[in-house]
Structure 1
Amino acid sequence: MTSAPEQHSISPDARTVPQLTNPRAERVKAVRALAGRPARSRSGRFLVEGPQSVREAVRETATRVHDLYVTEQAAARYPEIVAAASARGVVVRTGTPDVLDAMSPDGQGVVAVADLLAVPLDAVLARVPRLVAVLAHVRDPGNAGTVVRAADAAGASAVVLTRESVDVHNPKVVRSTAGSLFHLPVVAGVGLEETVGALRELGVTVLAADGTGEHDIDDLLDVAGAAPAGVPDLAAPTAWVFGNEAWGLRDEDRALTDAVVRVPIRGRAESLNLATAATVCLYASARAQR
């Protein structure tokens, strides 16, 4: 006898509402609208797309997650996400593939809606941070998200995006962090001068990363922990300021910092991508501090 094909579904306990089947339903439109900033501002919520980001959102900040949307297929593939959401009281809603695609073509069948992350700068400064990434006029969402991910991997204390930078809740930023957005404090919407001033008052060395820097990051690593007077010590608490992808840091922004540091180009490349340069700088500090 030929056995019937296996049917995958989430447990009855997890399914708290009927399955969504209409991709043109108002709820579906409302979730999709969160890809735009006006809807995020009105609702105070944002879209989390894809299994990795949703997994970390549920695991780290479940109290801020309102709804989890999954297809039956995704629920079978990622049962740990559904189980964690249900255990933390998050409403789990199933939908057809068409519905989930309408909510997010990038969600891979897994989407969540969460409260906007509002981390005040004072919360980061309550303890002297050891390592901070500051994004000034960074407009590309992929770059911004990748820097957040790199900062998380390097063990940074926080990331700060100035008010001139991309919205940290932009869906591409959120996806590019690969869940790191929910691992460390990310401050947004503050001024660069305000941020640098507050960090310096705490004794944090503020370094600008720029190709024209007078200090070579390799040389700074060589003397970390025993830097002579006038030379930045990467072993000390440090904040790195990274500028715009196209024009870097403005003269007035560089002037706010303690020193300007370059990442040397050994080969024939004209320059490094912003996120790549930021990763090099953050890991240099992490190595020196450890």
Structure 2
Amino acid sequence: MSEPLKASNARLKDLRRLSRRSERSERRLFLADGPKAVEAALEAGCVEEVFAVPGAPVPGGVPTTLVDERALAALSDSVSPAGVVALCRYVDVPLADALAGARLVALCADVRDPGNAGTVIRCADAAGADAVVLAGQSVDLYNPKTIRASVGSAFHLPVAVEPTAADAVRAAREAGLTLLAADGAGELGLYDAALAEVLRGPTAWLFGNEAWGLPEELAALADHRVAIPIHGRAESLNLSTAAALCLYESARGRESR
């Protein structure tokens, strides 16, 4: 068996360039870090090659290269790399494909934090959503922190990327989805009977930026604005927590049909 590659290896140096969004976009390749992400990427069929330290469990049927600990750490942005990294092809789908036939969609507008974006994808997956859209100036789907925060869910359901948030909203409406804007000043409450009726049909939840929420011009495109009740003294909810509540309320509505 050949010796594990070291961090100074030319191939590994080239792969480290994928830490830059521009490089990822140009090559349409990214690195998925950790066993959960690698396992999900393998199931999705998008893995080009796996890099693992000696002794790490490695999959069969895909090219695998052994690397030493320092080399793996250089490929990972994790504080404690988990021993395996996969080189993957992009997995996002065209917006029209993501929306076709969808009954529950999470649409993120200008969501900048990769941890939040990845967690929304994970919540959407858990709630049985059909797709996620990262729109406007949202974080890169292939940011290592986004992929890691999704815990494999970025590979489980269709994710579309749309540069213009308003275009994504209009496309969702054209696909037959009712647009619900998560908005603290909404005219409907999350547990209102009127909303329960809306949730029986195809819906897209619109979530805004972590700091300033949805811009007025975008919220105005929604069919309804929905507020999550705050029963205590907290000023607001974290974006991914709010998304989880909204998506699970949709899941509950679908089950009651």
TM-score if structure 1 supplies the norm length? Answer: 0.83
1:32 matched to 2:19: no
Q: Residues 57 and 65 of structure 1 are in contact (CA less than 8 Å); yes or no, is this contact kept in structure 2?
A: yes
Q: Which residue of structure 2 lines up, in the alignment, with residue 201 of structure 1?
A: 174
| SS in structure 1 of the partner of residue 72 of structure 2 | helix
Match of 1:124 among 98, 114, 117: 98
1:72 aligned partner, one-letter code: P
How do 1:70-89 residues align onto structure 2 when only pairs under 5 Å count? 70-75=52-57, 82-83=58-59, 86-87=60-61
Q: Which residue of structure 2 lines up, in the alignment, with residue 108 of structure 1?
A: 82
> Which structure has the greater CA radius of gyration?
1
Identity of matched residues, %: 48
With over 3 angstroms needed to count, the CA separation of the structure-2 counterparts of 1:195 and 1:223, relative to structure 1, is: closer
Q: Would you say how many aligned residue pairs link Structure 1 and Structure 2?
A: 253
Match of 2:225 among 231, 237, 260: 260
Deviation of 1:73 (Å): 2.5
Q: What 5-or-longer segments of structure 1 have no aligned partner?
A: 1-14, 76-81, 226-232
Deviation of 1:29 (Å): 1.5
Deviation of 1:20 (Å): 3.0
How large is the Cα RMSD of the aligned pairs? 1.5
Match of 1:269 among 234, 244, 251: 234
Deviation of 1:193 (Å): 2.0
1:101 aligned partner, one-letter code: A
1:213 matched to 2:186: yes
Q: Residues 265 and 271 of structure 1 are in contact (CA less than 8 Å); yes or no, is this contact kept in structure 2?
A: yes
Q: Which residue of structure 2 lines up, in the alignment, with residue 140 of structure 1?
A: 113
Distance in 2 separating the partners of 1:71 and 1:150: 31
Q: Residues 103 and 130 of structure 2 are in contact (CA less than 8 Å); yes or no, is this contact kept in structure 1?
A: yes
Q: Residues 67 and 93 of structure 1 are in contact (CA less than 8 Å); yes or no, is this contact kept in structure 2?
A: yes
With over 3 angstroms needed to count, the CA separation of the structure-2 counterparts of 1:44 and 1:19, relative to structure 1, is: farther
Q: Residues 162 and 168 of structure 2 are in contact (CA less than 8 Å); yes or no, is this contact kept in structure 1?
A: no
Distance in 1 separating the partners of 2:157 and 2:111: 19
Q: Residues 164 and 189 of structure 1 are in contact (CA less than 8 Å); yes or no, is this contact kept in structure 2?
A: no
**1:10-40 residue CA offsets vs partner (Å, 9 max, x unmatched):** xxxxx7xx34332111211122221211221
TM-score if structure 2 supplies the norm length? Answer: 0.94
